[in-house]
Amino acid sequence: MKYDRPVRELLVECVSSLPEPFTRQQVIDWFRQNYPDIAERTIVTQVGRLTEPPDKAQHARGLAAQAPLLVRVDRGRYKRISSLSSTARPPAAETAVMGLVLVGCVKTKADRAMAAKDLYRSPLFQRRRTYAERTALPWFILSSRWGLVAPDEVIAPYDMYLGDQPVSYRRAWASFVTQQLLLHGPVAGRRIEIHAGDAYIAPLRPLLEDLGAVVIDPVDARSRGEIIAWYNRFPSGTGPSETAAECGEIDRVVDELAGALSDRTAALTIPELRRSERTRLSSPGVYGWWVDADGAHDLSVGIGERLDAGLIYVGQAGATRRPSGKRSAGTLWSRIVTMHLSENAELSTFRRTLAAALRGPLRLRHEDDSRLSDWMTRHLSVAAVPCDDADDLRTIKEALLRRLDPPLNLNGVPSTPLRARLRALRAERTDGNRRGS
């Protein structure tokens, strides 16, 4: 221990000095100023470990034997709780009556009416449900279509995302949910945990707080993976057969998409793409860029590593945004035509990679040089496959990268000499742009 006290005690000193609510970044900044040798990762770990609700898995291993210090009241925003001092707890929370848990709905549903707790089928919902059930508190589901729904209430499937609705609808929805909650008793002084995306929390929070509720948004995560990891700290309660079914379904989809992207006969040249029916590609999905033999030779010369003709890059369009859960407006058409084929490299990672590789062979003046567009038209073709499952699209793309290993993808794939060289060329191009600006 470098300093005279453990990090936990230093954290007590820190949060005692910060005005509430404070952010995690404010905590980090305080440590940088007062205890600069403590690693940021250590600080972040301690904040997570000492934030209510406690990490039960770590508690069982003796890593969190002391009571938590903080309560998370919003994304990345915290307040002190009574374990810090007799006066540190927010006044409303001090006298809060028994709480309840609200769980956000998800897109993936069964195809027939059933109890709401069984209707939603995504791994995220299963973890939220398990968490809610293990609290032994009353819990409800926030449905963008039906409002506040009891777990055993039978409802029909629907296709509606709250974030896609106009502000007037979201406000009316929040008012409706609040009135439904009041039918179950007063909310003044009640602690209400909301496990949902920003689209659900933002309109609800002010109405509930105006009624005196203590609204808590406990899941501190910046990506879907981190959200799942937060719930994985608690026993999952998900049966092996159900988990296997989820994994099996993803594997089946990946098999189908990998086969479609690997079919050279299904790839369209750029002129064919521009003449094609746009509506077929006006949806989320995955796509793969192919290069012919002459184009592969040019890339090999420019990179200095051998690259064969074939599938060289895989991407996705329209995946649900993380961590907000908001639907993306992106489509296959907008990603491929508007971004990759436009002469604006800022919109396209793929185009920037091509520009770095072909800077020498094509004598490119800059990343938006029309000579790159001409080369793409002569040597590239693209296979695009619509995929409606926007919620799992990022996971599907990651699996496709592991399966297909396209050489010009730089993230989520193994390191190779070709990729190392490409990264160096990309860095040189970036530095050149900065010097020229």
What is the pLDDT at residue 84?
36
Burial class (CB in 10 A: 0-12, 13-18, 19+), 225: middle
78 membership: H or E segment, kind and range? strand 77-80
Bridge partners, residue 372, by sequence: none
CA 129 to chain centre: 19
What is the pLDDT at residue 173?
95
Contact (Cβ atoms closer than 8 angstroms) between residue 303 and residue 422:
yes
In single-letter form, the type of residue at position 257 comes to L
DSSP for 244-291?
Answer: HHHHHHHHHHHHHHHHHHT-GGGPEEHHHHHHS-GGGGSS-EEEEEEE
Phi, psi of 223 (to 5 degrees): -150, 165
Q: How far apart are CA 209 and CA 222, in angstroms?
A: 24
User: Domains of the chain (ranges plus CATH)?
Assistant: 1-89 (1.10.10), 95-238 (3.40.50), 243-436 (no CATH)
DSSP for 53-70?
Answer: SP-HHHHHTTS--SPP-E
What is the pLDDT at residue 51?
77
* CA nearest neighbour of 52 among 105, 106, 117, 96: 96
**68-123 pLDDT, tens per residue?**
677 777 666 788 764 333 333 333 333 345 689 999 998 888 889 999 999 998 87
Report residues of the chain scoring pLDDT below 50: 1, 54-66, 82-96, 236-248, 430-432, 434-437
Using N-to-C axis directions, what is the helix angle for 370-379 and 349-358, rounded to 10°?
A: 100
* CA nearest neighbour of 381 among 261, 265, 269: 269
Contact (Cβ atoms closer than 8 angstroms) between residue 380 and residue 291:
yes
Contacts 24+ apart (CB under 8 A), 9-13: 10/34, 10/35, 10/38, 11/43, 11/46, 11/47, 11/50, 11/69, 12/69, 12/84
- Number of helices (H), then strands (E), belonging to the chain: the values are 18, 15
Q: How far apart are CA 82 and CA 67, in angstroms?
A: 10
**177-212 pLDDT, tens per residue?**
999 999 888 888 888 999 998 889 999 999 998 888
pTM beyond 0.85: the answer is no
What is the pLDDT at residue 336?
95
Question: Which parts of 304-342 fold into alpha helices (H)?
Answer: 332-333
313 membership: H or E segment, kind and range? strand 310-317
Contact (Cβ atoms closer than 8 angstroms) between residue 381 and residue 263:
no
What is the pLDDT at residue 57?
36
Radius of gyration (Cα) for the chain, nearest Å? 26
DSSP 8-class letter at 194: E
Bridge partners, residue 100, by sequence: 192
215 membership: H or E segment, kind and range? strand 214-216
Cα–Cα separations (whole angstroms), residue 183 to 72, 193, 277: 27, 18, 51
What is the pLDDT at residue 5?
65
Q: Which residues of 49-66 are buried (b: 16+ CB within 10 A; e: fewer)?
A: bbbbebbeeeeeeeebee
What is the pLDDT at residue 234?
61
195 membership: H or E segment, kind and range? strand 190-195
Contact (Cβ atoms closer than 8 angstroms) between residue 393 and residue 284:
yes
What is the pLDDT at residue 105?
92
What is the pLDDT at residue 233?
66
